[in-house]
C-alpha cells in the first residue's frame, strides 16, 4: 500500500567535403558558455538484468519477457507504453527482439542478462508513436537523511552504504536507466553540509555541497517513521504553492501527451503537492514548506494495466492553496489523516532547471518509498527528454550550421553525434564553407526536443552574440 504526495523534406544540393583539412577563416561570433548545460551520462538502454532462482528453460522464458518489459520502460521512460498494442504483441514473442543473453553472478544471486536489438526497438516505438528516450541521461545526486529510530539518531546515506534503502534506490535507478549517485560523505562533504541541512531540505546548502560533484539535478529527502501524533517543527515562513512549474506540472503534461497518443491509462487520484516560488539561488528554504494545505500532500498510486504509474492531478485553477495555520483544527486534522497513509514517510525536494518543488511519499517500508521516488523522478525526466514520434509525412527538416568542423575526423564525429540523438532520423551535410558545416536534420520530434537533447552535453553549444543571446537561425559550435 502506497500513497504519493507530491505528481516535406525539400531537395538539397550537396557539396562534397573535400580534402583532409579545409583551410579557411570563419567570421566568428562571440561564443559564450551556455548556462543550461547539464551533466549527463550515456547508459545502456537495450539491456536488462533480471534476478532468477535457476537457469532452467522455463525460468529463462519468464525472465526474457520481464527483461523486454524493463527495456521498453527504460527506452521510453514510461510504464504506460506497456499498454500499447504493438508493445504487447512484441512481448508475446520476445525472442524476435533478443540479440544475446548470459548469466551474471553476484554473491549468491544469479542474474539473467538480456541484450535486445536496439534498432528494432527504436523502430517499434517510433512506428507506434510512443516516447523514445535516448541513451544520454542527466546525472542526479541524492541527499537522503534517514531517521534510524532503533538507534535514536539521524544519518546521511552515503555512496558506500549497503543499507536496504540505498540498494533499492540504486537498483531502481539502474532499471529505469537513471544515472544516480549518493554523496561520498568524506571530510569535504561533512564540512560543506550537516544532517540538519539535509533533514530540513534547505536548498542553498544542498546546492553548495553538490558543486564538487558537477551535477545540476539535486534531490534532497528525509525518511522517517510516520507518526501522526507528532507534529514536525513548523516553518518560519511558508511560501505559497503553485507559483513555479514543478516536477509534477511536467508529469501532468506527460499524461496529457500520452493521452493524445491514444494510450489508455487510469485517471490519477489525489491532489497536487505544493511547490515553492524559489529560484535556484534563493535564500534558505523552510524545512516544512511543503505543508501548505491539508489536502496538498496526498496523491494516490495509479494502476496502468498491471503496472503502477505515478500521476498527478492539476491544481484547481480557481483554488489558491493557503498555509496551514499553526495549532488549529485544520492542522491537527492534517496530521491525523496521515495515520492511514503508511508506516513511513519520505519528504523530498527537487532542485533543477532553476526551479524547486517539494513533495512527500507515504508507504509501508523505506525501500518502497525509495523505489517510488525514483520511478516518479524517471517519469519526470522522460517527459523532458523523451521524443514522441511524428508521422513521416509531417517530419520537419531543420538546417543547422556548425562551426569548428575543419577536418575529416571532426566531420565524422559531428555526423555520428547527430545521428546518435533519438530526435534525429538522419543528418546530411549540404554545405561546407571553411570550418562551418551546414547539415539538414530530419527530426522525428520537435526543435525543442533537439535543443533539450543538445543541452545534456557540451559537445554542441549554441553560438551567442556579445550579450549572450543566441544568434538568429540555428548556429552551433562543435567543441569535442
Q: How far apart (Å, rounded) are the C-alpha atoms in residues 187 and 32?
A: 35
Mean per-residue pLDDT for 357-383? 93
What is the 3-state secondary structure of 152-202? CEEEECCCCCCCHHHHHHHHHHHHHCCCEECCCCCHHHHHHCCHHHHHHCC
Above 60 in pLDDT, residue 193? Answer: yes
Mean pLDDT of 130-153: 91
pLDDT at 249: 53
- 456 — pLDDT class (breaks 50, 70, 90): confident
Tell me the pLDDT band of 91, cut-offs 50, 70 and 90.
very high
Cα 418 to Cα 403: distance, rounded to the nearest angstrom? 14
Residue bearing the bigger pLDDT, 385 or 313? 385
DSSP helix/strand/coil, 249: helix
In contact, 391 and 126? CB cutoff 8 Å: no
C-alpha closest to that of 427 among 454, 392, 389, 400:
400
Is the model more confident about 301 or about 216? 216
3-state secondary structure of 413: helix
CA dihedral (238, 242, 244, 248) in degrees, to 10, reads 110
**How far is residue 164 CA from its own chain's centroid?**
23
pLDDT of residue 89: 96
Q: List CB contacts of 260: < 8 A, sequence separation 6 or more.
A: none
Read off the pLDDT of each residue in 257-273 and give the average, rounded to a whole number: 44
- Assign 445 a pLDDT band (cuts: 50, 70, 90): confident
Lowest model confidence (mean pLDDT) among 120-134, 247-261, 376-390, 441-455: 247-261
Cα–Cα distance, 354 to 476 (Å, whole number): 24
Q: How far apart are CA 15 and CA 461, in angstroms?
A: 24
Residue 110 reports pLDDT greater than 80: yes
CB 131 within 8 Å of CB 71: no
> What is the mean predicted confidence (pLDDT) over 306-314?
33
Residue 461: HSE in the Cβ half-sphere, 13 Å Cα cutoff: 22
Secondary structure class of 95 (helix, strand, coil)? helix
Q: What is the pLDDT, as a whole number, of residue 223?
A: 95
What percent of the chain has a predicted confidence (pLDDT) above 90?
51
Give pLDDT, residue 422. 86
- Is the CB of residue 469 less than 8 Å from the CB of residue 395? no
**b/e map 435-466, b = 16+ CB within 10 Å:** bbbbbbbebbbeeebbebbbbbbbebbbbbee
Residue 229 pLDDT = 65
In this predicted structure, the answer to whether residue 56 has a pLDDT above a threshold of 70 is yes
pLDDT score at 339:
59
Instruction: State the average pLDDT over residues 293-315.
Output: 32
- Count of CB atoms situated within 10 Å of the CB of 44: 13
Residue 132 vs residue 312, higher pLDDT: 132
Confidence band for 230, pLDDT divided at 50, 70 and 90? low
**Cβ contact 50:114 at 8 Å:** yes
Residues 307, 85: Cα–Cα separation, whole Å:
15
Average pLDDT of the chain to the nearest whole number: 76
Q: How far is CA 360 from CA 84, 248, 363, in A?
A: 31, 12, 10
According to DSSP, the β-strands at 397-403 and 436-443 are antiparallel
In the predicted structure, residue 170 carries a pLDDT above the cut 90: yes
Helix (H/G/I), strand (E/B), else coil: 80: helix
User: How much is the pLDDT for 299?
Assistant: 32
Tell me the per-residue pLDDT of 19-42, one tens digit each, with 9 for 90 and over: 333 233 233 333 333 344 457 889
Average pLDDT over residues 187-197: 95
| 3-class secondary-structure state, position 422 | coil
Mean pLDDT of 364-386: 93
pLDDT at 411: 94
- Report how far residue 341's alpha carbon sits from residue 440's, in angstroms, rounded to the nearest whole number: 54
Cα distance between residue 467 and residue 143, in whole Å = 36
Per-residue pLDDT averaged across 95-113, rounded? 95
Amino acid at each position: 500500500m502506497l500513497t504519493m504526495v507530491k505528481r516535406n523534406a525539400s531537395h538539397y544540393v550537396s557539396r562534397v567535403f573535400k580534402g583532409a583539412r579545409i583551410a579557411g577563416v570563419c567570421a566568428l561570433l562571440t561564443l559564450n558558455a551556455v548556462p543550461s548545460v547539464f551533466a549527463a551520462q550515456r547508459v545502456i538502454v537495450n539491456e536488462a538484468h533480471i534476478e532468477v532462482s535457476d537457469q532452467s528453460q522455463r525460468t529463462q522464458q519468464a525472465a526474457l519477457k520481464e527483461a523486454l518489459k524493463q527495456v521498453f520502460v527504460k527506452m521510453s521512460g514510461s510504464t504506460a507504453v506497456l499498454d500499447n498494442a504493438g508493445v504487447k504483441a512484441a512481448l508475446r514473442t520476445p525472442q524476435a527482439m533478443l540479440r544475446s543473453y548470459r548469466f551474471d553472478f553476484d554473491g549468491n544471486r544469479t542474474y539473467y542478462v538480456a541484450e535486445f536489438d536496439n534498432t528494432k526497438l527504436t523502430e517499434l516505438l517510433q512506428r507506434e508513436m510512443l516516447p523514445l528516450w535516448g541513451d544520454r541521461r542527466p546525472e542526479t545526486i541524492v541527499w537522503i537523511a534517514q531517521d534510524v529510530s532503533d538507534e535514536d539518531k539521524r544519518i546521511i546515506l552515503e555512496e558506500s552504504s549497503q543499507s536496504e534503502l540505498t540498494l533499492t534506490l540504486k537498483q531502481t535507478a539502474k532499471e529505469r536507466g537513471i544515472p544516480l549517485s549518493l554523496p561520498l560523505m568524506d571530510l569535504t562533504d561533512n564540512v560543506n553540509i550537516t544532517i540538519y541541512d539535509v533533514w530540513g531540505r534547505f536548498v542553498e546548502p544542498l546546492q553548495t555541497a553538490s558543486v564538487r560533484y558537477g551535477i545540476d539535478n539535486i534531490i534532497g529527502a528525509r525518511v522517517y517513521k510516520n507518526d501522526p501524533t507528532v507534529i514536525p517543527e513548523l516553518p518560519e515562513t511558508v511560501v505559497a504553492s503553485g507559483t513555479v512549474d514543478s516536477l509534477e506540472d511536467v508529469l501532468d503534461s506527460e499524461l496529457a501527451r500520452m493521452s493524445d497518443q491514444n494510450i489508455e491509462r487510469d485517471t490519477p487520484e489525489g491532489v497536487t503537492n505544493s511547490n515553492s516560488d524559489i529560484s535556484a539561488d534563493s535564500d534558505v528554504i523552510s524545512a516544512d514548506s511543503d505543508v501548505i494545505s491539508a489536502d496538498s500532500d496526498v496523491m494516490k498510486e495509479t494502476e496502468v494495466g498491471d503496472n503502477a504509474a505515478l500521476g498527478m492531478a492539476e491544481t484547481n485553477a480557481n483554488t489558491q492553496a493557503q498555509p496551514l495555520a499553526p495549532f488549529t483544527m485544520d492542522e491537527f486534522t492534517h496530521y491525523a489523516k496521515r495515520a492511514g497513509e503508511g508506516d513511513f514517510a519520505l519528504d523530498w525536494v527537487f532542485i533543477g532547471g532553476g526551479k524547486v518543488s517539494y513533495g512527500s511519499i507515504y508507504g509501508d517500508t523505506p525501500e518502497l518509498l525509495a523505489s517510488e521516488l525514483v520511478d516518479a523522478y524517471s517519469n519526470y525526466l522522460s517527459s523532458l527528454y523523451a521524443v514522441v514520434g511524428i508521422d513521416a509525412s509531417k517530419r520537419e527538416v531543420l538546417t543547422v550550421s556548425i562551426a569548428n568542423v575543419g577536418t575529416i575526423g571532426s566531420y565524422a564525429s559531428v555526423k555520428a553525434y547527430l545521428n546518435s540523438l533519438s530526435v534525429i532520423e538522419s543528418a546530411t551535410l549540404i554545405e561546407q564553407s571553411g570550418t562551418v558545416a551546414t547539415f539538414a536534420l530530419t527530426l522525428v520530434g520537435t526543435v525543442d526536443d533537439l535543443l533539450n537533447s543538445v543541452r545534456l552535453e557540451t559537445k554542441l553549444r549554441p553560438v551567442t552574440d556579445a550579450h549572450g543571446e543566441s544568434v538568429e537561425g540555428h548556429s552551433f559550435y562543435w567543441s569535442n
